Structures are given as structure tokens and as C-alpha cells.
Amino acid sequence: MAHDVKSQLTTLIRQALASVAPDAADLPIHLERPRDPTHGDFATNLAMQLAKALKKNPREIANQLLAELPVSILVSKAEVAGAGFINFTLDPRAKVSVVRAVLNEGENYGRSTLGGWQKVQVEFVSANPTGPLHVGHGRGAAYGASLSSLLTFAGWDVTREYYVNDAGRQMDILGLSTWLRYLELHGVVVPFPPNAYQGGYVRDMAEQLKHAHGDKYLRDAAAVLAGTPGLPEAGRADDEAKQQRELHLDALIAKAKELLAADWDYVHQHALNEQLADCRDDLEQFGVTFDVWFSEKALYDTGLVARCVDLLEQKGHLYVQNGARWFKSTAFGDEKDRVVQRENGLYTYFASDIAYHLNKFERGFDKVINIWGADHHGYIPRVSGAVKALDLDADKLQVALVQFAVLYRNGQKASMSTRSGEFVTLRELRGEVGNDACRFFYALRKSDQHLDFDLDLAKSQTNENPVYYIQYAHARICSVLSQWSGDTAALAECDLTRLDNPRELAIANQLALFREVIENAARDLAPHMIAFYLKDLAGEFHGWYNAERMLVDDPALRDARVALALAVRQVIRNGLAILGVSCPESM
């Protein structure tokens, strides 16, 4: 296998090291791939690592190591370069052996045991279920799903989790918005707050309530508005006006709870269930599924929030000021202390978030990865601080930030405000460019980098469109195999030494990189590295396909070339599966 070539070379170098420097026989050996292919296939700086201990010039040590290097058919050339690097050029037979490895291992080629089957939880999306998912949420969904698949492929035991914020003020606002639209449908007009949820989906939920329950939840407009503070004049955007609108909204929520009494829970739950079902359906159609949907409300129902806050107090991390309980988060690097329980006795969102993290650790994960929007950057120190305050291992917690994607349609930037209802939904985007383009384009940038989503490029069937370019390589190979019509199972035994031209060896090198790319991407939580790798592999293949005939008259050469093409197809499949992208057989 390709991975074995690197391992075998490492073993050869270690034998030389044991002869030259027995006391340093356990020194880690780093093999890198030179950027310049004329410098060979691998290089090591081992001689420079030994220079201080051996008190010798690195080039002298490098020559000693070469002299002690066992003879092997693996290496065609080994030479000292620069200040003391050793460059290794592999024998072509060793390079093309990767083809046999790919064909034998199939969908398992590239898998790694790097993760050691450690339990890792990846929590992602976790959008408030207050409206349809928009294109910004889509990026977090694509990143989280691809990362989870990548970590699984690299040997971790992954749990995919969605945290449902079903206990907070935003859900109350959605419940109120639905009820006010329901009243409106019955001719009871209460001025609709500008900071309530405006989208058409709210009217749809109100229609459902009316259809199922008639006028059961009908109340008089005067009763709804009684005692509520007035709204500021339209158009005012100063802080005082914003505060007035929020107070008005809170008063309406309180009034809805009072007037509806036990029926409020039904209206609230109806809105939650409808939006959560829509979210789940949207994500499943996007190829994004979760093992666990975790309810924030459950943290309160089980008493974990109260237990968690009491635990912080027992450990001396809380103080009381103006009737509220504060967490000393500045002691852990936060910019200011944070309230965990208000003077009215209600716990804050931060308190439930601490409890949720306590729950994660109590479930026994070896690593906990939170995928948050980049606007939550300031939230990291306080959550990390709370984890430390609870005497948990904060090194197990890792936060990956995702910049929201900005969609451009006809050169115009689209607004994505959920409350205003003026947003482009993930469902709309998928309908326009397709799941494959969505998943791949979201994966094309490092998650914390800004992403402009180019719709024109995503829909184009040209080589400039990276997902089309990769899928087209796959389809071309399927076409070659269809014309060849031989037994693919027999290809693993064909004469691979016939693959000897530079393009074929370059493809073999690229195939050999796959497991290293997998492991590096997993370490860095960076599935975009898979996207770039596949783009390079497709480029190597298209160049070869355009320059050479696959189905030549020479049977041995023909089979060797078909075997190489089949290996490329397999690696494209393995890589695209991680990214959640399909592999069409014709285009």
C-alpha cells in the first residue's frame, strides 16, 4: 500500500539511524514530500536533528546515514541535499504499487486508525428552530457533516448532535408571532411587532391552527393589548426605541401566556414541532443526519441547570450582585463576568449552555467539538472557563468557527435576517444549484474563512466549476470501463510495471497521498483539504486522459491503464463520499 511505502522507508532509515547513532535510535523520523518533484519523492531532516547531539556537521551525518541505509528495491536514488537533507526517489515499481492497494481495499482505501476509536461528539447547525434554515446555516451543516464523515474515516467513533434551543425567548417570540397571525386570520387585528417573526411560514402555521382548532385560541384585541407598553414611532432606530420594542414584545408574550393559560403550551409546541420537522427534513434532503437531537428544555426538566449552577457556587465561582448570581468568568480570561441566574430567579441561556457542556462530559466523550458561527467567537472564553471551573478537562473541548456564506444572485447580495423573513433558504439554494454543488462549494474554503457563494459558477458545466470537473473525471472513467467491458476483479493482478510514463507516475503519486491528506485534514478539522486534493487528482487524470489512449491494442498496457483509471475512480468516490457529493456515472 502507498502508506506502507512510507512506513517501509521509515523502517530503512531507522535501521541506518541505529547504526550511526544507537543512543538516538528512538528519535522520531519525519518524512516530508518535497514541493519540487526534482528533489525526489520524500525528504528527511534527520541529520540536522542529530547534529547537536553528535556534534557533527549535518551533511557529514547525512552521508553516514546513507552509507548505512539497507539496500532496497523501494529506493532508486538517495542523496544528500542542501544543509543536510536526505532526498529519496522511489523506484517506479514502488510508486505504482499503490494502484493494487486501491483496488484491493476499495471503499476502505485511505481509512486510518489515527483516531484510535476515541469517542468524539460533533455538535453542529443547532440553529434556533424559529424559521427555515438559510444559506448561512447550510455552510455549518455541510462543514459539520463532512467533518464527521472525515473523522469517522480517520478512525474516530463519532456522534453527530443537534442542540435544540427549545426553552428560550426566541421560541416564545415564534409562538407569539404564530398566535398573532392566527388572531389576524379571525379578523382580530393586533399591531404586529416589527421585531416578531415576519416570514410566510408563520402565517402557514397560523392557518394550520385555525384549520385544526377553529376559534379555540381566539381572544379580544383589547385584552391582548391591555397594560402593554406602546411602540415607538416607526422608523426610529436609536437604542431607546429598540429597547421599547423589546419590552413591548415581552409584554405581549406575557399577555399571551396569561390569556391562553394551558393552551399556550400547545401553541408554543405546535410552532416548535413544525419548524423542527421542517429543519430535519431540509437537512436530511441535504444528506445531513444526526444521531442525537438534544433538547435544551430537558436540561431544565432533569434539574441539570440548577445542579450545575449550584456546583459552580460550591466551588466558589459565583457571587451575588443586585439579586442576581454571577459567574466569575473574568478569572478564566473572559472580558467580563456573566449572569447565570437573574434576580427574578430565571436562569440565563449561558447557564443552560454550561449545563449542556457538563452533560457532554458526563456522557464520556474523549473529545467534544462545537461548530459555531464566527459571530460566537467571544463566547469561547466564557464556555471554556465554565468547563475549567467545573474541574473538567478543557483540553477535550474544541471550537471550530464557521463564517457565514454570502450568496450573490445577479450580482446582488441577498439578505438573510430570520425575523424579517427576508432570507434565502437552504432549500431554495439546493433547488437552484443542486445538493452536490452546495455541499462541495461550502467545503471549498477553510471553515473560518469568508465565503462568497458564486451561483453562476456552481451551475456551470465547465472545467472552472470544481465539482463538475471532479464528477466529470469519474464519469469519463465509467465510460472507459464500459467500453473496456473486462473483469475489474482481475485488474488487481495485472502488470503495473507497464505504467511508466511521467503522467502515470504523477497520478500514482497523487493516489499515494490520499491517506496522508485524510490524516492531516482530520488533525486540522479541515475537510476543505479533501476538496482541494480531489481537484488536483481530477486534474492529473484529465491531463493523462487527453494525452494518452486508454484502450490501446497492447493487452498488458491496456489493462494496466484501466487499472490506474479504476483506482482514480475509487479514490474520487471515497473522497466525495466524505464531502457528501454524489458520483454520477454519466454526464
Task: Give the containing element (helix H, strand E) for 413.
Answer: strand 412-413
Q: What pLDDT score does 417 carry?
A: 55
Q: What pLDDT score does 352 carry?
A: 96
Q: What pLDDT score does 422 carry?
A: 64
Q: Residue 385, Cα to own-chain centre: how many angstroms?
A: 24
Contacts of 10 (CB under 8 A, 6+ apart): 29, 31
103 and 570 Cβ atoms separated by less than 8 Å = yes
Q: What pLDDT score does 427 carry?
A: 93
Letter string b/e over residues 458-487, b meaning 16 or more CB atoms within 10 A of that residue's CB: beeeeeebbbbbbbbbbbbbbebbeebeee
pLDDT in tens, the chain (587 residues): 444 788 899 999 999 999 999 998 889 999 999 988 888 999 999 999 999 989 999 999 999 999 999 999 899 999 999 999 999 999 999 999 999 999 999 999 999 999 999 999 999 999 999 989 988 899 999 999 999 999 999 999 999 999 999 988 999 999 999 999 999 999 999 999 999 999 899 999 999 999 999 999 999 999 999 999 988 888 888 889 899 999 999 999 999 999 999 999 999 999 999 999 999 999 999 999 999 999 999 999 999 999 999 999 999 999 999 999 999 999 999 999 999 999 999 999 999 999 999 999 999 999 999 999 999 998 999 999 999 999 999 999 999 999 988 887 777 786 655 555 567 889 999 999 999 999 999 999 999 999 988 888 999 999 999 999 999 999 999 999 999 989 999 999 999 999 999 999 999 999 999 999 999 999 999 999 999 999 999 999 999 999 999 999 999 999 999 999 999 999 999 999 999 999 999 98
What is the spatial distance between Cα 506 and Cα 154, in angstroms, rounded to a whole number? 25
What is the spatial distance between Cα 460 and Cα 466, in angstroms, rounded to a whole number? 10
**Angle, CA 187 vertex, CA 183 and CA 189 arms, to 5°:** 65
What is the spatial distance between Cα 376 and Cα 374, in angstroms, rounded to a whole number? 5
Helices 514-523 & 2-20, crossing angle to 10 degrees? 80
3-state DSSP assignment of residue 111: coil
Q: What pLDDT score does 285 carry?
A: 97
How does pLDDT run across 490-531, given as a tens digit for each residue? 999 999 999 999 999 999 999 999 999 999 999 999 999 999
Residue length, the chain?
A: 587
What is the spatial distance between Cα 164 and Cα 183, in angstroms, rounded to a whole number? 28
DSSP annotation of 134 reads B
Q: What pLDDT score does 2 carry?
A: 42
Q: What pLDDT score does 408 carry?
A: 79
Q: Domains in the chain, ordered, with CATH?
A: 2-90 (3.30.1360.70), 169-276 (no CATH), 462-579 (1.10.730.10)
What is the spatial distance between Cα 498 and Cα 486, in angstroms, rounded to a whole number? 18
Residue with cell string 435544551:
296
**Adjacency order of strands within the sheet including 397-402:** 292-295, 157-164, 119-123, 367-373, 397-402
Cell numbers that stand for 94 in this block:
514502488
81 and 39 Cβ atoms separated by less than 8 Å = yes
Task: Give the containing element (helix H, strand E) for 506.
Answer: helix 502-512
Q: Residue 12, Cα to own-chain centre: how many angstroms?
A: 38
Contacts of 321 (CB under 8 A, 6+ apart): none
Number of H-type helices and E-type strands within the chain: 22, 15
Q: What pLDDT score does 1 carry?
A: 41
24 and 90 Cβ atoms separated by less than 8 Å = no
DSSP annotation of 321 reads E
Kind of pairing between the strands at 42-44 and 412-413: unpaired
For the beta carbon of residue 104, count every other beta carbon within 10 angstroms.
11
3-state DSSP assignment of residue 236: coil
Q: What pLDDT score does 540 carry?
A: 98
Helices 528-547 & 466-484, crossing angle to 10 degrees? 50
460 and 471 Cβ atoms separated by less than 8 Å = no
